A and B are shown apart, each in its own frame.
Chain A
Amino acid sequence: AQKVTQAQTEISVVEKEDVTLDCVYETRDTTYYLFWYKQPPSGELVFLIRRNSFDEQNEISGRYSWNFQKSTSSFNFTITASQVVDSAVYFCALSWPSGSARQLTFGSGTQLTVLP
């Protein structure tokens, strides 16, 4: 069975600090996809990134970067020079069944608060 663990329930940082959100997953599938979604206080879900299980290259997008390591089953998310607007709940998610990218198992989320 799939499982996604986000052990950090809440994180609070001061603006301009770097912050890393951890995500550990479990799956028996060989082909799967990992996702990060952002849920700001307004409540909508915003897609941030998708990574497939065959692509372990790290990705950087502006102040956001992602570190995917199959050896440790982790897909961590780092925000560099955090801003107040980054305050949100961040969800990591894993797709199923094998090869599909549409049914998702979500982690419980990490509430990030960036203080001015």
Chain B
Amino acid sequence: NAGVTQTPKFQVLKTGQSMTLQCAQDMNHEYMSWYRQDPGMGLRLIHYSVGAGITDQGEVPNGYNVSRSTTEDFPLRLLSAAPSQTSVYFCASGRVSPLHFGNGTRLTVT
């Protein structure tokens, strides 16, 4: 049972490049979400999904897109990376509570 799997673990992008952070869970959870963690600011919710085909914005959605075509996967897309998006990104899933978090993706935008 892998739980919540995030790939890649590390990524360096140049400003303006695009990429997709992958998140997959094998627990058949309806709910999935993305957070970013910045020094001194805790974790902030970017987007979340309550099921396949349904997504909604969190606290800091600008610059990020999501879609949910299957229950298992919830990718996070950066269409044009900016240095302000340098952060550690966590994906989480859960049936109700508590959330199960992935191990994070450390993204650096230069």
Q: Which residue numbers of A lie inside 8 Å of B, CB to CB? A: 4, 6, 9, 33, 35, 37, 43-45, 47, 50, 91, 93, 95, 101-109
Q: Is B74 an interface residue (CB 8 A)?
A: no
List chain A residues, Cβ under 8 A from B44: 106
How far, in whole Å, are A93 and B58 apart by their CA atoms in the complex?
A: 15
Is B40 in contact with A47, judged by CB distance below 8 angstroms?
A: no
B84 within 8 Å of A by Cβ? no
Given A45-B90, A103-B33, residue A108 in contact with residue B40 (CB < 8 A) = yes
| Residue total for B at the interface (Cβ-Cβ under 8 A) | 23
Residue in A closest to B40 when the chains form the complex, CB atoms = A108
Q: Which segment of B12-20, B75-83, B97-105 sits at the interface?
A: B97-105
Q: Whole-angstrom distance from the CB of B48 to the nearest CB of chain A? A: 6
Is the beta-carbon distance between B42 and A108 smaller than 8 angstroms?
Answer: yes
Closest B residue, CB atoms, query A107: B42
B48 contacts which of A4, A103, A107 (Cβ < 8 Å)? A103
State how many angstroms separate the Cβ of A115 from the closest Cβ of chain B: 23
B2 within 8 A of A: no
Q: Which residue of A lies closest to B31 (CB)?
A: A102
B109 interface residue (CB < 8 Å to A)? no
Tell me how far the C-beta of B84 lies from the nearest C-beta in chain A, rounded to whole angstroms.
18
Do B48 and A101 have beta carbons less than 8 Å apart?
no
Contacts of A6 in B (CB 8 A): 42
Smallest CB-CB separation from A102: which chain B residue? B31
Can you report 23 residue pairs joining A to B where beta carbons are below 8 Å apart?
Answer: A4-B42, A37-B101, A43-B88, A44-B103, A44-B104, A45-B90, A47-B98, A47-B99, A47-B100, A50-B97, A50-B98, A91-B42, A91-B43, A95-B97, A102-B94, A102-B99, A103-B45, A104-B43, A104-B45, A104-B99, A105-B59, A106-B35, A108-B42
Contact between chains at A106 and B42 (CB < 8 Å) = yes
Chain B residue with the shortest CB-CB distance to A106: B42
**B58-110: which have CB < 8 Å to A?**
58-59, 88, 90, 94, 96-101, 103-104
Cα(A103)–Cα(B96), bound, Å: 10
